[in-house]
Amino acid sequence: MTPFSILVVLLMVLFIINNPISSTSAYPQTKHIFLLAGQSNMAGFGGVVNDTWDHVVPPECRRNPNILRLNPKLKWKVAKEPLNEGVDRWPNGIGPGMPFANALLQKIPNYGTIGLVPCSVSGTKIIDWQKGTDLYDMLVTRAQAAMKNENRNGSNNTIEALLWYQGESDTKNQTGAYAYKGRLQQFILDLRSDLNLPDLLVIQVALASGIIDYLEVIRQAQLHTDLPNVKCVDAMGLQLQPDNIHLSTCGEIALGNLLADAFINN
């Protein structure tokens, strides 16, 4: 090899080191965006015991270069568990997001790149998500950042759906429970308006747990939202942790598959 050839090879190596090829480059590919919002069961508490995650990642939650996550700094990175890390104030573990995305890629060949936008915060009530609140503003900001045009071909990222799992905190008192349906409807209408997505698909989850006195009130509001393009999957019967509030890892994986089927069959 001539000295010139050696120099060319060295320059190529230096270029590769300083410009790694990855799905998080300055011009990432077009993505199918899914917003994930709500409280702890959407944030993911699978494998969390005494505020500590066991770090067990099942195959259904595996990393995939075609599944990206919008991190707290609004940058796209290859997604990994815990998906909601850095967004919530509590430790998170396995949630439904990664099983959902992996199921989509398995069931829809050549679907492309999925962009997950975790926005869940544990212990929140529906009133905490109304327009004008910090949580609502955070959700809108992250959704708008996810849609930002960063593609060489000029195409836009598309928000396919909001995956919503919230309501356990609203089962604690009668007033909040009976106001839930109207507040949920207003939240969806405001979000669609502010994102300029009037037909945004919302796939919400009917509660698996909560304070028994008002659990069914919330569930009925979720099962019968009375808004177009809102679907509901029922988490009742999915495996819970010993606290009877949070889904287990198996329960979260099952929920992710239910959400994927609901999206595919929409």
Total of domains in the chain: 1
Q: What is the pLDDT of residue 153?
A: 53
User: Which is more confident, 225 or 90?
Assistant: 225
Please check the confidence at residue 28 and state whether its pLDDT lies above 60: no
In the chain, the percentage of residues whose pLDDT exceeds 90 is 82
Is 170 a catalytic site residue?
A: no
- Residues 72-78, mean pLDDT to the nearest whole number: 96
For the entire predicted model, the pTM comes to 0.88
Domain assignment present for residue 16? The answer is no
Domain assignment present for residue 15? The answer is no
Domain assignment present for residue 260? The answer is yes
Q: What is the pLDDT of residue 248?
A: 97
Domain assignment present for residue 3? The answer is no
Domain assignment present for residue 24? The answer is no
Structural domain harbouring 132: 30-264
Please check the confidence at residue 23 and state whether its pLDDT lies above 70: no
With beta carbons less than 8 A apart as the criterion, state whether 235 and 255 touch.
Answer: yes
CATH of the domain at 62: 3.40.50.1110
Paired sense of beta strands 113-118 and 158-165, if any:
unpaired
Q: Could you tell me the sign of the dihedral formed by the alpha carbons of 62, 65, 70, 71, in that order?
A: positive
Is 134 a catalytic site residue?
A: no
Catalytic residue among 32, 209, 246, 248: 246
Catalytic residue among 51, 199, 226, 243: 243
Is 246 a catalytic site residue?
A: yes
Q: In which band, very low, low, confident or very high, does the pLDDT at 94 lie, cut at 50, 70 and 90?
A: very high
Domain assignment present for residue 5? The answer is no
Please check the confidence at residue 26 and state whether its pLDDT lies above 50: no
Catalytic residue among 40, 169, 209, 248: 40
Reference 42, options 104, 89, 99, 84; nearest CA is: 84
Q: Give the pLDDT confidence of 39-59 residue by residue, as tens digits.
A: 999 999 999 988 899 999 999
Domain assignment present for residue 10? The answer is no
Q: What is the pLDDT of residue 148?
A: 87
Q: Give the pLDDT confidence of 244-254 residue by residue, as tens digits.
A: 999 999 999 99
Domain assignment present for residue 8? The answer is no
Q: What is the pLDDT of residue 109?
A: 86
